[in-house]
Structure formats: structure tokens, C-alpha cells
Amino acid sequence: MRRFQAVYYRAADGTEPVNDFIDRLGVERRVALDNQIGRLNLLSDANPHLPHPYSSQVDGELRELRCHYGASLYRILYRRSGGLIVLLHVFAKASKSVPETEKRIARARWTDFKERMDAQPRKLPRAAGRDAP
């Protein structure tokens, strides 16, 4: 059984926007988000999605990981690529639904990820974070 691995999307300039956002949070908030991300690493072909309330489908294959710390709500938008779960975008949630601007950012990063991963030969930096297999 193949286990999935959550990895940070890495932009062409080498930055990892989701990781950078989380790193700017206080330690307790970082731990709360990291614990939720850790749940993604428990997924496999036999169990490909976290159930509600941990995750839900946003649009097509784009999903949201629901994270909170006290009254603060965060969403991490992600998609799967083979055995990788690519963490594309994170934001503090202030409305009932995921704003279209946040979805657009995640879609643009997914397009960039796929173009660079599918390029022959692949161009540096890697489209997935340093922890990717």
C-alpha cells in the first residue's frame, strides 16, 4: 500500500509560500497547522482523502485542509500528484466560503508545479519542497 507524502509547493524563485506563511506564525499556531498537515501523511491509495471536518473538496481536485487555532481559522489548499500531496496555498479564513482569489492562487501554483514537473529535463529549483522524495 502506497502512503502519500505532503510536500510544500516551491515557486520558481525557490520560495515555499505555504511553509513561509506557517513559519511567520507563533509557535502554537505553527504546531496546530503542522499537526493537520501531518494527518495528510496518513493517507494512502486505500484511504485517499481526509473526512470532513478535516478536509473538503473546493473545486474539482482542489481540496482544503481545515486548520484552526482557537477562533482563528486557516485553510491550506492542496492537490494530489501521484504519491505527493502538494500544499499550494494557505490563508487565514475570514468568510464562509473559499474566496475565488485564493482558489486562483492555488490553481496558478498547480499549473506552475505541473509544467515544471513535466518538463524534460526538469528545471531547477524543484517544484516540490526539499522534503519531497
Q: What is the pLDDT of residue 1?
A: 77
d(CA 123, CA 115): 10
Q: What is the pLDDT of residue 28?
A: 95
Q: What is the pLDDT of residue 133?
A: 53
Q: Which amino acid is at 4?
A: F
Q: What is the pLDDT of residue 132?
A: 62
Q: What is the pLDDT of residue 81?
A: 93
d(CA 23, CA 43): 24
Cα–Cα distance list, 78 to 7, 70, 123 (Å) = 10, 23, 22
Q: What CATH number has the domain spanning 5-118?
A: 3.30.2310
Q: What is the pLDDT of residue 104?
A: 98
- pLDDT tens digit at each of 133 positions of the chain: 789 999 999 999 999 999 999 999 999 999 999 999 999 999 999 999 999 999 999 999 999 999 999 999 999 999 999 999 999 999 999 888 999 999 999 999 999 999 998 888 877 788 887 666 5
